[in-house]
């Protein structure tokens, strides 16, 4: 354990098996949080996250669930609370992305995107916020994307889903305050499995168009999430934080 910032706290991180979610699990573990690591398919990867969490001297559990399925989310929350205790920190991070040029937009694919990215944010949130309010404490971070804030070719459905995440978090913040704080993060392109939806030359073009002249790392998003989940951001709720190496505004 590196510090004690999250000692005594229980965290649920959706999509904690890989990429940004894994980095968030590890970062919260360095602060002493006990962590429920959600995944859908990649059990081996989730086990590797759990080993990393344990290596920081704290414990955790794996909770397999499709975040878009109400019954599975209810089971995930129940198991977390039974095994670790009431959830103090929630990170809705699980998500999918797909490159779809405008002439290939497909309604089934659109519904799947909305289901995982929007329902998959809504369901864990509504499952935990009642308890958080009753206990008078909760900290939530929703992972969105700068795709919601600026055009990205072939990503209209993904962008719309992430815009919904930002609006949902922002709107809920008033109802949840003052006991529960909720913020969203809009990352730029981050080096994870998800960036494979772009070709190497597309990724290179984005890196060159980014003021920081590189893509982001999952650990950089995890650090911002930890800040927003901690009392270092005690007067902050309903905001969307952009972490994109400066690449936000319209070209």
Sign of CA dihedral 170, 126, 124, 59: positive
Is residue 69 a contact partner of residue 95, using CB atoms and an 8 Å limit?
no
- Look at residues 88, 45, 31, 16 and name the one whose alpha carbon lies nearest to residue 223: 31
Q: Would you tell me how many other CB atoms lie within 10 Å of the CB of residue 99?
A: 15
Q: How far is the C-alpha of 167 from the C-alpha of 128, rounded, in Å?
A: 19
* Sole binder of ligand NAP in the list 31, 32, 60, 187 (CB under 6 A): 187
* Nearest CB to ligand NAP, comparing residues 38 and 134: 38
CB of 54 to ligand NAP, least distance (A): 18
Please identify, using beta-carbon distances, which residue of 1 and 248 lies nearer to ligand NAP.
248
Selected range binding ligand NAP among 51-59, 62-70, 125-133, 231-239, rule: CB under 6 A: 62-70
Instruction: Using alpha carbons, select from 230, 122, 137, 49 the residue that is nearest to residue 63.
Output: 49
- Choose, by CB under 6 A, the member of 5, 6, 12, 15 that binds ligand NAP: 15
Residue in 127, 145, 210, 233 binding ligand NAP, rule: CB under 6 A = 145
**Residue 190 near ligand NAP by CB under 6 A:** yes
Give the shortest CB-179-to-ligand NAP separation in angstroms: 26
Query: Which of these, 64, 15, 16, 19, lies nearest to 197 by C-alpha position?
Result: 19
| Residues acting as catalytic residues | 158
Strand-pair partners of 91: 13, 141
Token pair of 58, please?
């704290």
Q: Which of 193, 212, 232, 246 binds ligand NAP (CB under 6 A)?
A: 193
Choices 92-100, 101-109, 168-176, 231-239 (CB under 6 A): range interacting with ligand NAP: 92-100
Q: How many residues bind ligand NAP (CB under 6 A)?
A: 32
1/48 with CB nearer ligand NAP: 48
For residues 17 and 46, the answer to whether their CB atoms sit within 8 Å is: yes
- Residues in region 18-47 near ligand NAP by CB under 6 A: 18-21, 38-42, 45
Which residues have C-beta within 8 Å of that of residue 94, sequence separation ≥ 6? Answer: 14, 15, 21, 38, 40, 67, 116, 120
Residue 10 CB neighbour total at 10 angstroms: 20
Report the residue from 25, 29, 90, 116 that binds ligand NAP according to the rule CB under 6 A: 116
**In the complex, which residues of this chain contact ligand NAP (CB under 6 A)?**
14-15, 17-21, 38-42, 45, 66-68, 93-97, 116, 120, 143, 145, 187, 189-190, 192-195
């Amino acid at each position: 354990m590196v510090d004690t910032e999250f000692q005594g706290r229980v965290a649920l991180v959706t999509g904690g098996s890989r990429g940004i979610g894994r980095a968030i699990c590890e970062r919260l573990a360095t602060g002493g949080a006990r962590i429920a690591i959600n995944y859908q398919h990649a059990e081996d990867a989730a086990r590797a996250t759990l080993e990393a969490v344990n290596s920081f001297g704290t414990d955790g559990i794996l909770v397999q669930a499709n975040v878009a399925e109400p019954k599975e989310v209810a089971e995930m929350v129940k198991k977390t609370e039974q095994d670790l205790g009431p959830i103090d920190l929630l990170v809705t991070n699980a998500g999918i992305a797909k490159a779809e040029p405008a002439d290939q937009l497909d309604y089934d694919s659109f519904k799947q995107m909305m289901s995982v990215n929007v329902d998959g944010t809504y369901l864990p949130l509504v499952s935990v916020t009642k308890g958080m309010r009753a206990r008078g404490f909760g900290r939530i971070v929703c992972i969105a994307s700068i795709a919601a804030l600026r055009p990205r070719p072939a990503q209209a459905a993904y962008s719309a889903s992430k815009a919904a995440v930002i609006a949902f978090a922002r709107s809920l913040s008033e109802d949840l305050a003052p006991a529960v704080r909720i913020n969203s993060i809009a990352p730029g392109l981050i080096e994870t499995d998800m960036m494979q939806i772009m070709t190497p030359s597309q990724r290179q073009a984005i890196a060159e168009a980014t003021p920081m002249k590189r893509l982001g790392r999952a650990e950089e998003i995890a650090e911002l999430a930890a800040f927003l989940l901690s009392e270092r951001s005690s007067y902050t709720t309903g905001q969307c934080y952009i972490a994109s190496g400066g690449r936000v505004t319209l070209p």
